[in-house]
Amino acid sequence: MKFLFDFFPLILFFLVYKLGNGNEAAALALAEQYLGGLVSGGKILADQAPMMLATVVAILATFLQVGYLMLRRRKVDGMLWVSFFVIVVFGGMTIYLHDETFIKWKPTIIYWVFAAALLISQLFFGKNLMRKAMEEALPLPDAVWPRVGFTWAAFLFLLGALNLVMAFVVFRDNTAAWVNFKVFGMTAIFFLFTIGQSMLLMKHIPQEKA
């Protein structure tokens, strides 16, 4: 359930984009009806409508995530607050300027913000955020945690850079392909890295004496 909750905006973004991309006339009609007053110049092109509708849905879904947690008096973690802020700002710019460039930058900004947070907290404040998040599941020796923090920071920075390469070089003229990569490719890379990192760290867990 937590997996579905965390990926709720991404799943809706993908579904709405795919539906809109396959039905551009209907997507354009919806975008003009509900978003026409929000865009610069008031004019939306048919090929822009699917991305704009998907972006609006992602913003609303993230807003619902935050609202749900606050109503339930549960903690809204830092990752969700950052995602909320970035999707509102960059998604809003995508809609107002009807330019998909901004929403393509969103994953990179989020990954780089987290990478910077890991580095700054570890180097300047002596706090290891990865240790705080993972220590209960992986009781590693003190000497190992700094490497874990730096490894994750490097990975997130590279993942953000990879998104830019795929969005603006490899799939520069194929937004649909970039959406597929964003949803499936980057998610797979993230999970594979998480699993691989966990497996490598298992050998550092102290063995209990019989």
103-156 pLDDT tens trace: 999 999 999 999 999 999 999 988 898 888 887 777 888 888 899 999 999 999
Distance CA 193, CA 178 (A): 20
Q: Which residues contact 56 (CB under 8 A, 6 or more apart)?
A: 34, 35, 91, 95
Instruction: Enumerate the H helices of the chain as residue ranges.
Output: 2-6, 8-22, 24-35, 49-71, 78-96, 101-124, 129-134, 145-165, 175-180, 186-202
Averaged pLDDT for residues 65-71: 94
pLDDT at 3: 64
Map residue 173 onto helix, strand or coil.
Answer: coil
The H or E element containing residue 123 is: helix 101-124
64 residue type, one letter: L
pTM check: above 0.85: yes
Q: Is the pLDDT of residue 205 over 80?
A: no
**30 in Cβ contact with 49 (< 8 Å):** yes
Residue located via tokens 């603006």: 168
**Rounded to an integer, what distance in angstroms lies between the CA atom of residue 124 and that of residue 131?**
16
Three-class SS state of 97: coil
CB-based burial, 109-128: b 16+ in 10 Å, e otherwise: bbbbbbbebbbebbeeeeeb
Residues 9-28 have a mean pLDDT of 94
Mean pLDDT over all residues of the chain?
90
Q: Is the pLDDT of residue 40 over 50?
A: yes
CA distance 27 to 45: 10
